[in-house]
Structure 1
């Protein structure tokens, strides 16, 4: 396969230089596609010009550079750059200017591309491994999940053709039982991210890629030991703040051959590990055998989301009740109050923060829907 390596930069010269130094230590880097976005404001000019100088001074490999005349923003820059690279290649490796690769990163990516090029369910490969511990295997150097990572990643031309900035994906998945389960398991944060995109609070291209892979039931590959270190969460970036919650160390040993299994199933251990980052405890417990009391949960808002694990520890959730939402959440139906009579349950748990509103709802449930008082519980009192 012919693979193109794309590097995207804007105004962080020291970060970019570390990425390039990392790439230079890799084998088989004969050509780089370098993309620099246009100047956004005068305050950025000095570093922006330094980045241009860094790109022009690369002498250890062939460089095809692209300097935008106007500031296109993160999303348009990356999407157009990937499209350009894939017009000339079968697969693309994408590095932004804060993703430092290990010396065997390129080998890892190309071996994954070759091994899984005909497995159309696999959409994305990343050299980054999230900061949690999943037990490795003597038969594999990778694990499979349902969430893309945009840090040191890549994909094939035919998979990327499905990328689209489709704002309707989220609502389509919420209307489908199984897809809503996948969305809750791998993309609990994506609704807020998409809303922020609409409001202009972010310029994310990755939210659409993550949603598309989830909608398609796609798989993503990550190594057990990280081959990418993100050095950009230091407050220096235009699109990211300061954080250490995703810090990882690069794998200390260099490999030339990676163990890539034929079995690409996602393990329960991996699903559990991802929940604190992107997942939902309701989705995690969906198929588990339960010995708890069954419950309808009234309200799928902030009180429930903050206490989701505790609620799932206490109850087997049958369905949700919400006047303002429709479809499914984590594979569970969202009902209108008039549909309650069609379901069997032990408790109705009202997960509303406003105490007066909770009491009003409880009275309505008793008088209008004939639910016994003793079968109603208040989340505001139980979970605080």
Structure 2
């Protein structure tokens, strides 16, 4: 590997989730060669004790080349995440980013850094993710990774030049959307993009998905998941309670990941991902009628 990218963790008040995230990361190959940056969001009224416990725990974390804790004075989830990400990218040019509910397999750091090296000069690749949804990979597909034009933030790596391309959507962006095309990598994408444009949410991953749709940029996924999102227990802001995205086991591969030179998007994997991301008929009707209202509003 050329350079081992720093790892950033964004956290707030979920100390038990954070402990699992940090412990798993510290057990990774190359953890002791990795600089860890943790961005601790400021407390909302009533959460001072929880945030204090998180910061007390962080002050004792070891197992990495360096541990750097950035404590925010005020609460702002978006600023905590994106300002932290921007600071590290401006300094290092690349980084790996986690939220405090992402548990990693021991090969995660090796995989992410190897992929960053492999695709750094490939303009068709926007990001790397450590997550693989529980979908069926065609038996004849032989690579350790695959590509989808769909950003995934559950443990991702990115370069500064790719990150700087992501921006807020404007009216021209929204009105130019081809719903059929943007839905090729998930029927749920259009509804998320609409919500982001209207200000109902402010989500980096959704903005990235729109950019990938516009520019045909790929995210590299592992063949088997190297991360588990443990935040679908009702403890997070945006995630409900579900086992839909859960894996019984994470990939135990820790080195010698094989990355193809050409980023090919496999039709069988697209279909499998599309079937997994299908939305209900109720959601489709909601999107249709909400789209009519949004059009009149715009």
Give the shorter-chain TM-score range: 0.7 to 0.9
Report the Cα offset of residue 303 of structure 1. Answer: 8.6
Report the Cα offset of residue 202 of structure 1. Answer: 3.4
After TM superposition, the structure 1 = structure 2 runs for residues 132-147 of structure 1, keeping only pairs within 5 Å, are: 132-135=135-138, 139-147=142-150
RMSD of aligned residue pairs (Cα, Å)? 2.5
2:170 is the alignment partner of 1:171 = no
After TM superposition, the structure 1 = structure 2 runs for residues 254-265 of structure 1, keeping only pairs within 5 Å, are: 254-265=253-264
1:38/1:70 contact within 8 Å kept: yes
Partners of 2:208 and 2:96 lie apart in 1 by: 15
Q: Which residue in 2 is equivalent to 1:35? A: 39
SS, match of residue 186 in structure 1:
coil
* CA displacement 1:266-306 (0-9 Å, x = unmatched): 111111112134469xxxxxxxxxxxxxxxxxxxx61997x
Specify every segment of 5 or more residues in structure 1 that has no aligned partner in the other structure, as ranges: 175-179, 281-300, 306-321, 327-384
SS, match of residue 220 in structure 1:
strand
Partners of 2:293 and 2:45 lie apart in 1 by: 42
Report the Cα offset of residue 65 of structure 1. Answer: 1.5
* CA displacement 1:120-141 (0-9 Å, x = unmatched): 1100110100011113567410
After TM superposition, the structure 1 = structure 2 runs for residues 277-296 of structure 1, keeping only pairs within 5 Å, are: 277-278=276-277
Distance 1:303 1:239, change over 3 A: closer
Q: Which residue in 2 is equivalent to 1:72? A: 76
Report the Cα offset of residue 195 of structure 1. Answer: 4.1
Q: Which residue in 1 is equivalent to 2:204? A: 205
- How many correspondences in the alignment? 283
1:118 to 118, 121, 124: 121
After TM superposition, the structure 1 = structure 2 runs for residues 323-342 of structure 1, keeping only pairs within 5 Å, are: none
* CA displacement 1:24-80 (0-9 Å, x = unmatched): 1112233101101111231x333222111121111322112111111112x332111
Structure 1 window deviating more from structure 2 (94-103 vs 237-246): it is: 237-246
When the two structures are superposed, what TM-score results if normalisation uses the length of structure 1? 0.68
* CA displacement 1:322-365 (0-9 Å, x = unmatched): 99899xxxxxxxxxxxxxxxxxxxxxxxxxxxxxxxxxxxxxxx
Distance 1:250 1:47, change over 3 A: farther
Which structure has the larger Rg over C-alpha atoms? 1
SS, match of residue 44 in structure 2:
coil
Q: Which residue in 2 is equivalent to 1:20? A: 22
After TM superposition, the structure 1 = structure 2 runs for residues 159-198 of structure 1, keeping only pairs within 5 Å, are: 159-168=162-171, 169-174=173-178, 181-197=180-196
* RCO comparison, higher one (Cα < 8 Å, 6+): 2
Specify every segment of 5 or more residues in structure 2 that has no aligned partner in the other structure, as ranges: none
After TM superposition, the structure 1 = structure 2 runs for residues 1-384 of structure 1, keeping only pairs within 5 Å, are: 1-2=2-3, 3-29=5-31, 30-42=34-46, 44-61=47-64, 62-73=66-77, 75-135=78-138, 139-168=142-171, 169-174=173-178, 181-197=180-196, 201-278=200-277, 302=285
